[in-house]
A and B are shown apart, each in its own frame.
Chain A
Amino acid sequence: MEKKQKLEKLATTLNKLNQLEAALKNSKNYTKEILDLEMLIEFVKEQVGENTHPTTG
């Protein structure tokens, strides 16, 4: 998969993960499942450039 295509696919997946997280948070209290999902979301955000290191950009 080309880099651009991969990033687009990840951005779409990230949206779905965010929606899933919101749905889980509405349905139950903080659980391991939500924390795991939050961790993955943060990882994907880094991959698509949403979360960047403050010094390296």
Chain B
Amino acid sequence: MKILILQLARFGDILQTWPSLKGLRRIYPKAEIHILTRKNFVSAIEDFGLVNNIWLLDSEAILQPLLHNENYKESILVINELIQRLNQEDFNIVINLSFSSFSSHLISKIKTKQVRGYSRFADGTVDFADTTSAYFYAQVGVGRSNRIHICDLFAKVAGVELIKEDWDFSNLAKVKNFESRYIVVHLGASNSKKQYPVDLWLKALNKFIENNECDIVLIGTENEKQLSEKIVNRCNNKERIINKTGATKFSDLIELFSYAQGFVGCDSAPLQLASLVNLKSLNLSFSTVNFWETGPKSANSRVLYKNTPQDLIPETVAVEMNHLVNQTYSFEPMVYVQNQVSPYKLNFECEETGWKLLKLIYFNGAAPILKRDCIALLQTIQKIARQLSKTLIVLQSNPLNQETLVLINILEHKILISKKLNLVLSPLIDWFETEKRIIPPGDFKNIVIKTQKIYQKLYALCDCLITSSLDKEFENGNNKVDAS
């Protein structure tokens, strides 16, 4: 058995693939597991013995012909040569955990018996080979309502139900290097919008040092050296800060994390690495990132969430760092992590409806109670769904009727633009759009049957949502009458 994983995203995503790799190893103990990553990010997987073979996508080699003489055929040749070598391996299963358009093209060219994740049909249209991938496409990311962690979604695409054992990487820990008690801090983030400002970090770290005996070890990439130097140079107590920024590989970080009292940082690869070695973390998170998708998973971790970095005052960060080290709890609104396999327990009321709507659509959950404006819009969508269903029957009897085709396009467009009228219904509209998109090419009859099923499910979902909300409204009305 040979399995190939495509993970062409960056460090954080590669690290978040680790539990799935371990799960696959558990399910297929004798399998040969290969991974394809981008050359620039291979350090997040090499040297850890998690896979049997690593394949590299060399972005520079692909881009060079384009940059030098715009020779696109030469660039395509570089990619096709890699595909040719992969095809010689004769993989039984190929799993795409990259969720990108490019990766879907790449995977569709790899010969295999089974594909999971984004792929392409023979005509080039996108193919979500499994329901989790369709869910990912429609519902995951900032501004969307998904509440499932990326690690769990990766595992589902890979066909793995993660267990505690899949999160155990304690065998990678090495010998102790530091005698002092220390907490690891990463000042940077995967992009500047997710970062806590350096001046606020300085105040927070000064305050922490004043009140705690723990030293601070700064980590980060070569590009973040300046950031750390600013802190070291302006800190009130320089000897309490050990600056290792730009001087650590992932294997060094594992060693450093293994004996640390905790980790503090924003959304970044080191935060995700801390989850893998079960180091309790304090995650500073803002509205630019969904921490419930990429946040800490290690036991006793906590997430301090504010709308913007400026809303998070440094004194609060220092106090929470203290609580993290001492394993105590504060009155600050905070999300606590139980363990690596338990989902987050969130308490953001404003987000709740979207998530409930997702649970209804994908997991047969109970319908959320919606407000009047939402119900009115749903009634319109339901009418359009019924009209679409009827129009499709007309089309079936005369497939070449252009007028009917135009009418279907107009009606579907009306549904899609209703998302702009009420954002609460976005998960429903995104589901509809994705389901339509993933109908495979084929004969007209099959396409009609699949399309009809989508219209009917949309109608039924609208019905369920409208009925539940109106019933609740009626119940509340009766209660008010009783009370008066």
Contact = CB atoms under 8 A, between A and B. Distances in A.
B293 A55 contact: yes
Contacts of A30: 123-124
Interface in A9-57: 9-10, 13, 16-17, 20, 30, 34-40, 42-47, 51, 53-57
B46 to A, nearest CB: 20
Interface SS of A by simple majority: helix
Interface in B73-112: 75-76, 79-80, 98-102, 105-106, 109
Interface string B96-140: 001111100110010000000000100110000000000010001
Nearest to A16: B70
Contact of A43 (B67, B102, B150, B289): B102
Contacts of B194: 57
Nearest to B102: A42
Interface string B40-70: 0000000000000000000100110011001
Contacts of A38: 105, 124
A35 B105 contact: yes
Contacts of B193: 57
A17 B101 contact: no
B55 to A, nearest CB: 16
Contacts of B63: 6, 10, 44, 47
A53 B109 CA distance: 21
Contacts of A20: 72
Interface residues of A, number: 28
Contact of B140 (A10, A17, A37, A55): A55
Interface residues of B, number: 41
A55 B294 contact: yes
B377 interface: no
A36 B142 CA distance: 31
B100 A56 contact: no
B440 interface: no
Contacts of A54: 99, 136, 140-142, 144
A28 to B, nearest CB: 13
A52 to B, nearest CB: 8
B190 A57 contact: yes
B292 to A, nearest CB: 11
Contact of A56 (B10, B75, B106): B10
B13 interface: yes
Nearest to A36: B76
B12 interface: yes
A6 to B, nearest CB: 7
A10 B66 contact: yes
B75 A42 contact: no
Interface of B: 9-10, 12-13, 59, 62-63, 66-67, 70, 72, 75-76, 79-80, 98-102, 105-106, 109, 120, 123-124, 136, 140-142, 144, 150, 190-191, 193-194, 288-290, 293-294
Interface of A: 1, 6, 9-10, 13, 16-17, 20, 30, 34-40, 42-47, 51, 53-57
**Interchain residue pairs A-B with the least CB separation, the first 5:** A54-B141, A39-B105, A42-B102, A42-B101, A43-B102
